[in-house]
Structure 1
Amino acid sequence: MLFGDRLARGIVDIGQRLAFRTAAIGGGWPGKKGEIAMAFGNRNPLSLPVLKGPAVDRSVTASHGRFDSMVTVVCTRWLDAFPASYVTVLRNAVAASLKRPHRFVCVTDNPGGLENGVEGVAMPDLGIPLQYQRRGCWPKLSIFTPGLLPADQPTLYLDLDVMVRQDLDAFFERIESTGGFHALREWNPTIWSMVPLAMRPHRGVQGSILGFYPGEQAKLFHRFYDQKELCFDAFPLDQDFLSENAQSPQDWPFAWTSSFKWHCLHYYPINQVLTKIHEPKNAKVVVFHGNPRPIDVVPLGDYRWGTKRKFGHGPVDWVRDYWLRHDPTWTDAAPAKAA
């Protein structure tokens, strides 16, 4: 192939990927790309029928002054990323922090080790290649499979490595009040903490806590399932796909959550002087993303955890207390293992 032909094909390929990523797909995240209608060859691969769930009654129950219908809490577990004990801990923490009736669902390819109180649901096979199952959280998108979860029931997705500390009811009240797709705003690096939130760059979705009505977001499944390879090329991670494709996206209130990595740890060498790990007592949920995970800071002993620039030694008392409270089987002699 002549160089000119190869260059032309390369330009066309780049144009197609750009078109896929910026096609008019429902709005995009606040501060992200808007609705940009672009052609994809002779057709738009995202011109799929808009799927809508049943009409949702979002009226407040007069006798209680709040919403009190059944809701769904869902998590996912695939391959060997997390032991079953993580599901148990999350289930128990949710039960302690959610007053209203709820189902706790684990969508998984491995139901081994799931305890009573966890509704195990087989993870639909979306045909995701193994390398993409291990890179990011693409199998998480299976929760949007039509019919997997009740279309008209408010649903809260939680990553297995979050710490639920208080009041999950507020998350559901927000979903019921506005509909749409609710997610964490991806945190900015520490240096941006000196700037007001409104002036910080919006980096799109952080996918640890999602809120939605499954019927309203069903097209997420179709847009991914029908164009998987293009999605893998266009979006580095599943949360980048969600940032660009979610219907009526909204941020959770910033004060409701904290990042263990960004809000609780100091950089080296400051962490050699300020050794105590900050506890965000007002956060409803603390998110562990990346390294370390909660289980890494639970065992007794003198050991190092974390990354090259953000690390600590030994157990973090408030994380250990949380884990032991919600996992009655834990012993330091036999830490959690995969089922």
Structure 2
Amino acid sequence: MQTIVCMKWGTRYPGDYVNRLWSMIQRHTNRPTRLVCLTDDFSGIDPGVATFPLPPITIPERVAWKPWRKISLWQAPLADLEGDVLFMDLDVVITGPLDDFFDYEPGKFCIAENWTQPGQGIGNTSVYRWRVGTNTHIYNEFIKDPEIPLKQYGISQRYVSGSVDNMTYWPADWCVSFKHTLLPKWPMNFFKIAPLPSETRVVAFTGKPDPDEAEIGAWPVNAWYKRLYKHVRPTPWITENWR
């Protein structure tokens, strides 16, 4: 049984995001696969998804509900998880087969190379595979004194990338960023729809827009001047795949 894990906290993403992820996983896996959701709110989640409470972590309140909370995944034991597990953020759109993610580079920690920092040894934790019970020092060192990694690394994925053993990247065309890889550069983003390459398997929606926003061509911004360059056209392939 292959296991994919997601986390849901707060109110930004409703249970429907978990359900869409589960539906996409089922369409894009041939082997028996389950989805485990670690969450503080079980409401609205499909009963076919295994749910567990968020794993405990000692963490400063100012970052308690930011990606730093994903450091809690590096503890053991962890829910009922064991072996190699694939983590996926809720704000991804799956567009291709997933089974290969469990076969690629056995024994290594596999992650997407961060799209905005190529060549700097930094992964993006939207999609990664790890073996539960390994690299527990990432969690243990963090809870000893969270302020040290917070000050040294600033961003949780920099901390993971700088602390994990045996890191390697997925093939670049497997995991792409909607905003940094696919979205046409300004000013063409006002005229062209973001393409979907045939080799792509997972599209990550880091920051804004979220999938439901990019789908309809909405990019919420606070400052008026950002509307001059933050723009996305309605994207039909999101509708076709994000369901």
* TM-score (ref. length: structure 2): 0.89
Distance in 2 separating the partners of 1:276 and 1:260: 11
Q: Is residue 2:205 matched to residue 1:291?
A: no
Distance in 1 separating the partners of 2:241 and 2:20: 9
Distance in 2 separating the partners of 1:180 and 1:225: 24
Pairwise CA distance, 1:259: 1.1
Distance in 1 separating the partners of 2:218 and 2:170: 33
Pairwise CA distance, 1:107: 0.8
Pairwise CA distance, 1:264: 1.8
Aligned to 1:72: 3
Aligned to 2:128: 210
Aligned to 1:84: 15
For 2:238, which of 319, 323, 327 is the aligned residue?
A: 319
Deviation readout 1:229-286 (Å, 9 max, x if unpaired)? 21222121110110111121111111212211122212322333x4222122220111
Pairwise CA distance, 1:127: 2.6
Letter in 2 for 1:72: T
5+ residue gaps, structure 1, are 1-69, 190-199, 327-339
Q: 1:283 to 1:306 in 2, by over 3 A?
A: farther
Letter in 2 for 1:95: Q
Aligned to 1:181: 109
Aligned to 2:91: 161
Distance in 2 separating the partners of 1:188 and 1:229: 25
4+ aligned runs moved over 3 Å, structure 1: 149-152
Q: Is residue 2:105 matched to residue 1:105?
A: no
Aligned to 1:237: 155
User: Which is greater in Rg?
Assistant: 1
Q: 1:218 to 1:102 in 2, by over 3 A?
A: farther
Q: 1:187 to 1:306 in 2, by over 3 A?
A: farther
Deviation readout 1:67-112 (Å, 9 max, x if unpaired)? xxx2210000112231111100001101111111222100111112
* TM-score (ref. length: structure 1): 0.65
Which structure shows the higher strand fraction? 2
Aligned to 2:64: 133
SS in 1 for 2:55: coil
Aligned to 1:250: 168
Q: 1:151 to 1:104 in 2, by over 3 A?
A: closer
Q: Percent identity?
A: 28
Equivalent residues of 1:151, 1:216 under 8 A apart: no
Letter in 2 for 1:289: T
Number of paired residues? 237
Equivalent residues of 1:155, 1:213 under 8 A apart: yes
Aligned to 1:122: 53
Deviation readout 1:210-233 (Å, 9 max, x if unpaired)? 101112232222122222121222
Pairwise CA distance, 1:204: 0.5
Letter in 2 for 1:206: N
Pairwise CA distance, 1:149: 4.7
